[in-house]
Amino acid sequence: MSAQFLSDNAAAVHPKVWEALRAADEAQPPYDNDALSQRLDAEFSALFGREASVLWVATGTAANCLALATLCPPHGGVVCHREAHIEVDEAGAPGFYLHGAKLMLAEGQGAKLTPDAVRAVIDPIRDDVHQVQPHAFSITQATEYGLAYRLEELAALGALAKERGLGFHVDGARFANAVAFVGCSPAEAAGPCDALSFGCIKNGAMSAEAIVFFDPERAALARYRRKRAGHLQSKGRFLAAQILAMLEGDLWLDNARAANAAAAEIAGACGERLMYPVEANELFVRLSAAERETLRTRGFGFYDWGADAARFVTAWNTPPEDASALADAISGL
């Protein structure tokens, strides 16, 4: 057998997304002047229960950086976790999009940011022109270790943002998985933030993420920046189509639930091996080199995570039998 748990980022495209793509083939006004793109604001406003202004882009990196560029000037700083995707895996894109602004690195278990961790970064900064001043912070929901922020954690961060006048950004590459796990409404999950990178690509889409702004002025600014970054596609209707397909009938939540369920099943077999609770679709599992070799021999694909662990990621289309097989294989080690 062969069962892949390498990542969700290159998984197949959901049939309903394919349908939506094909249905969007006929020529329409270019860029985001088509009927599909024009529906995004209303759909997300309904989803989140407040006025939302929404832009599509082709990658999570572009989504994150265009959002952050509206929250922090070139001479400012954005607090994020030391292991945040924007710090570790985006090739310095924030430095590019924010024109040299600084990522300020906070500590925290499981790549989760807390008000205390943010304060530990910003409180020592002298309020003078010699030091970069913080203007915003960014969290990843679910985190890079698959942990979901609870509503009270989000509320506490929102209170901090308000108290300190900081912008609040959510990198939601796996927002769906977090919402599915927490069981709250999307409105609650996005509650206190200013801008949300609403991920679709890891969740069944092909090439579209949504940047959701809860302030139309920031969205207006980001529209200029999107074009300037070469991210305004002329056949943008195909991106809007993907996003609308994800929202239609809550496909985004269904897909996330499927991925989460597969992860949960595997987690059940891991016991003490788990480095973090499994709250989304990623598992970090302590496994010796020999154990990993055994699993690979049996056809399971995954990444090593340092010398003594492995990372497994499920996706919307992980076959339940693959999850079961992996659970069995780990149990049997």
Binding residues for a second copy (CB under 8 A): 4, 7, 9-13, 18, 21-22, 25-30, 34, 57-63, 65-66, 73-75, 77, 88-93, 95-102, 129-133, 201-202, 206-207, 221, 223-235, 237-239
Nearer to a second copy, 60 or 192 (CB): 60
- What DSSP string runs through 227-259? HHTT---TTTHHHHHHHHHHHGGGHHHHHHHHH
CA 95 vs CA 78, 92, 103, 291: distances in Å: 10, 5, 8, 40
Q: Residues 140, 110: contact at Cβ < 8 Å? A: no
Nearer to a second copy, 231 or 257 (CB): 231
Nearer to a second copy, 50 or 228 (CB): 228
**Closest CA relative to residue 74, chosen from 95, 103, 101:** 101
Q: How far is the CB of 20 from a second copy (least distance, A)?
A: 13
Q: How far is the CB of 289 from a second copy (least distance, A)?
A: 19
In whole angstroms, what is the distance from residue 146 CA to residue 277 CA? 8
Q: How far is the CB of 102 from a second copy (least distance, A)?
A: 5
**Closest CA relative to residue 209, chosen from 221, 220, 196:** 196
Q: How far is the CB of 133 from a second copy (least distance, A)?
A: 7
- Whether residue 142 is preceded by a cis peptide bond, meaning omega within 30 degrees of 0, is yes
Which residues partner with 77 through β-bridges? 102, 134
Nearer to a second copy, 109 or 131 (CB): 131
In whole angstroms, what is the distance from residue 292 CA to residue 298 CA? 10
In whole angstroms, what is the distance from residue 201 CA to residue 185 CA? 21
Q: How far is the CB of 276 from a second copy (least distance, A)?
A: 20
> Which two structure tokens, joined as six digits, stand for 7?
């990542």
Nearer to a second copy, 12 or 187 (CB): 12
Q: How far is the CB of 51 from a second copy (least distance, A)?
A: 20
- Cα atoms in the 13 Å half-sphere on the side-chain side of 81: 23
Task: Give the position of tokens 């700083």.
Answer: 77
Q: How far is the CB of 188 from a second copy (least distance, A)?
A: 29
Nearer to a second copy, 120 or 229 (CB): 229
Nearer to a second copy, 11 or 327 (CB): 11
Q: How far is the CB of 206 from a second copy (least distance, A)?
A: 6
Nearer to a second copy, 88 or 151 (CB): 88
Which residues partner with 3 through β-bridges? 300
Tally Cβ neighbours within 10 Å of residue 230: 9
